[in-house]
Structure 1
Amino acid sequence: METLTFHFDRGTRPSSGQPQLVGVVSSGNLEVLIEPASLNGGCDIEVRTAAHGFGAIWQAVISDFHDRWQLADTRIAINDMGATPAVVSLRLDQAVETLLGGPPASAPTGGQP
């Protein structure tokens, strides 16, 4: 297993609510645990993955996620068994939407103008 850690400062969207777990660790999938934490406005993400050597891809996926959500005072733990970047993004968004109760402010709503 490889462990990668990421930290982001100055998030603008504090998390609230109870810790949430989404996804299932199995062949080719992952689980995400997200929870509020006192981190002085920061967001900590720890990835435990069975796929070694993909740090640059994880950095890109996690940075994109943080750019979308701008989470503050949030801790995220990811247990990965080889999920694709698209599945990682989907699970991360699903976890935050479950915790916060909706999509990011910049996300399209799907409604008609």
Structure 2
Amino acid sequence: MEKLTLHYDANKSISRRAHVGVAGSGDLEILIEPLTERTAQVHIRTQSDGFEDTWKAIMDRFFLINHLAARIEINDFGATPGVVSLRLAQAIEVLEL
């Protein structure tokens, strides 16, 4: 199991939490909660070791568009980058941004 932590500058406040997906059967779970600071903290737990560069690229791309001031927890069970992007998009929809 690998644990990664990433930090991003953020300027978009959110007012509620979001939860999408499930951590099992090759999928992943994303939990988002608001932060009062102008920063984003991303904590990733993945069963697959050696994919830090891939995770960083996915999250860099996400934060180019979405500057959420939030704590994001991702629990991965072997999801592909496409599934990660889909779950992040679903989380944005849940937040109604």
Mark yes or no: TM-score above 0.5. Answer: yes
1:96 aligns with 2:92: yes
Give TM-score, length-normalised by structure 2: 0.94
1:44 corresponds in structure 2 to: 41
Supply the RMSD in Å over aligned alpha carbons.
Answer: 1.0
1:15 corresponds in structure 2 to: 14
1:32 corresponds in structure 2 to: 30
Query: SS of 1:35's equivalent?
Result: strand
Aligned with 2:52 (options 37, 52, 55) = 55
Gaps of 5+ in 2: none
Gaps of 5+ in 1: 103-113
Give the count of matched residue pairs: 97
1:87 Cα offset (Å):
0.5
The AA in structure 2 aligned to 1:33 is L
Q: Distance in 1 between matches of 2:89 and 2:18?
A: 12
Does the Cα contact within 8 Å between 2:11 and 2:39 map onto a contact in 1? no
Identity between Structure 1 and Structure 2 (%)? 47
Structure 1's consecutive aligned runs of 4 or more residues displaced over 2 angstroms after TM superposition are none
Give TM-score, length-normalised by structure 1: 0.81
Per-residue Cα deviation, 1:5-54 (whole angstroms, up to 9, x for no partner): 00002x2211112x22100111210000001022x200000000000000
Larger Rg: 1
Does the Cα contact within 8 Å between 1:34 and 1:96 map onto a contact in 2? no
1:66 corresponds in structure 2 to: 63
